[in-house]
Structure 1
Amino acid sequence: MTASFEELVAEAQSASVDGWDFSWLDGRATEQRPSWGYAETLGRRLATASAALDIQTGGGEVLAGLSQLPRLMVATESWPPNVAKATALLHPLGVAVVADADQPPLPFASEAFDFVSSRHPVTVWWDEIARVLRQGGTYLAQHVGHSSVFELVEYFLGEQPEHIRNARHPDADVAAATAAGLSIVDVRFERLRLEFHDIGAVIYFLRKVIWMVPGFTVDAYLPRLRELHEQISNEGPFIAHSTRFLIEATKPTS
């Protein structure tokens, strides 16, 4: 029997959104993955590092899934529920988790790491990344690109101005990294299909990825949620597109 709108809403509202694990969406939403395979790529690179830092690690899920970590591995996270989750997940693996507000400076000495990584950072402080990297060190990350999932964003917020649509453009990060004194090694961008199969998946996603529709609550958007529920029920999945880019930069040797 198909669940009602009210049942789907209640289920999505009661689900925990701690951490950065999206397994609750299994069977309810699908997202095409970037061709470069970030976790596998990160695992290969970390296996050869001696001292590494993962910035904005979320609940620590990416690092916990890797088979080999450096002798010194540190992760930072700002959101208290994620700090607790990452600590429980990563401490048994020998990873030090540091609670750190997403503001400079990073709480580490200059040139402390030969490798820095991040998956989907909310903000990127390029000067700080350059400072904590050793000469010859590498920054490797997967960033969220511009206009990501904007079909869903604009369904609730209406058409967005160009400066909002183009925020997080890879060209801006390339310019900022270069200005911080880093040398760009590689940038790869992809636009990826995302499908929401029920309204519960939409609600869960917007509760978890809070910057998509700032201040989102079911009560605030109840009429639009009902309309979208009917649309999905009658026409099939709501289609959106996420954007991702892989960026690698190095700190030159003098």
Structure 2
Amino acid sequence: MNRTFEELVSEAENAPIDGWDFSWFEGRATEERPSWGYSRLLAERLPAVSAALDLQTGGGEVIVGIPVHPPLMVVTEGWEPNIAKATALLHPRGVAVVADSPEPPLPFGDAAFDFVTSRHPVKVYWAEIARVLRPGGIYLAQHVGPHSVFEVVEYFLGEQPEAIRLARHPDFDVEAAEDAGLEVADLRLEELRLEFHDIGAVVYFLRMVVWMVPGFSVEAYIPRLREMHDLIVSEGPFVAHSTRFLIEARKPH
């Protein structure tokens, strides 16, 4: 890619970031996918339930890709651009989009759903998930794991304390789920290779995933961005590793 640093960064700064559509990264970044196939698991499970809830749905990209939905399918989302995108995608499929903060309480009655899902939630409120699940109901989700993409994080912020590196460890979710009265039936953790092929992909990534480098802006990090650009040009893709874990928890009868 024979494009200048300025061209790549300008394009990434001006690209829209509504929803969780990662098609902009095509040809610019690659990431391995977890072996369990989260969308495939949802496609297998959703047709068999009567009422399902997807939390922090983003722009609805995951749920719209599921061929068959249950009779009652509801999603929540709190970011305005994502709400509009999810509504446009999901309402024609008969899916209700609820504009709501992920923080408690969820705007649903007790035992309202027999299946609750979430892909990469920012924060998980286990007590609320347990409350809205029916007895025997299941929470199935793919969470971001510990020290995910920390090669990028620490490139800009420096070495992070161990407590921050382990903040999303699945053991904490298992403990919180059990404290909420749920039984963890499945837990799988994988580390996945991630490659950034140009500096624009890094800028776009940090604009989308704002909690990685809080307060990120091109202006604030211009020297480090230029250094990373030169590194990619001379040595090839910047390699990082994401971590993901699948968790399935059941509410006892």
TM-score by length of 1: 0.99
1:50 aligns with 2:50: yes
Q: Classify the secondary structure of the residue corresponding to 1:203.
A: helix
Q: Distance in 2 between matches of 1:204 and 1:159?
A: 22
Determine if contact 2:55/2:102 at 8 Å carries over to the other structure. no
Identity across the alignment (%): 71
What number of residue pairs does the alignment pair up?
253
SS of 1:244's equivalent? strand
Match of 1:194 in 2: 194
Name the SS for the 2:186 alignment partner: strand
Report the Cα distance in structure 1 between the residues aligned to 2:103 and 2:203, rounded to whole angstroms. 29
- Cα offset for 1:43? 1.1
Question: For residues 16-59 of structure 1, what are the alpha-carbon distances to aligned partners after superposition, in whole Å with 9 as ceiling and x for unaligned?
Answer: 01000110000000000000000001111101010000000000
Gaps of 5+ in 1: none
User: Offset at 1:101?
Assistant: 1.0
The answer on 1:168 being equivalent to 2:168 is yes
Q: 1: CA distance between counterparts of 2:184 and 2:204?
A: 36
For 2:22, the equivalent position in structure 1 comes to 22
State the one-letter code of the partner of 2:238: F
Q: Secondary structure, in 3 states, of the residue corresponding to 2:86?
A: helix
Query: 2:12 & 2:25 partners in 1: Cα distance?
Result: 10
- 2:113 aligns with 113
SS class of match (1:98): strand
Identify the residue that residue 13 of structure 2 maps to in structure 1: 13
SS in 1 for 2:89: helix
Partner of 2:75: 75
Structure 2 equivalent of residue 130 of structure 1: 130
* DSSP 3-state at the match of 2:244: strand
Instruction: Report the alpha carbon displacement of residue 173 of structure 1 after superposing the two structures with TM.
Output: 0.1
Equivalent-residue separation in structure 2 for 1:204 and 1:15 (angstroms): 8
Report the secondary structure of 2:18's partner residue.
coil
SS of residue paired to 2:48: coil
Q: CA deviation at 1:102?
A: 2.0
Task: Say which SS state the counterpart of residue 135 (structure 1) adopts.
Answer: strand
Give CA-to-partner distance per residue, 1:57-114, whole Å, 9 cap, x none. Answer: 0000000011000000000001011011101100000000000112100000000000
The aligned counterpart of 1:249 is 249
Offset, 1:127: 0.1
TM, length-normalised to structure 2: 0.99
**What amino acid is aligned across from residue 73 of structure 1 in structure 2?**
M
Kindly indicate whether the alpha-carbon contact (under 8 Å) linking 2:8 and 2:200 is maintained by their aligned counterparts in 1: yes
- Corresponding letter in the other structure for 2:179: A
1:145 partner amino acid? G
Shift >3 Å, 4+ stretches: none
Q: Distance in 2 between matches of 1:49 and 1:120?
A: 22
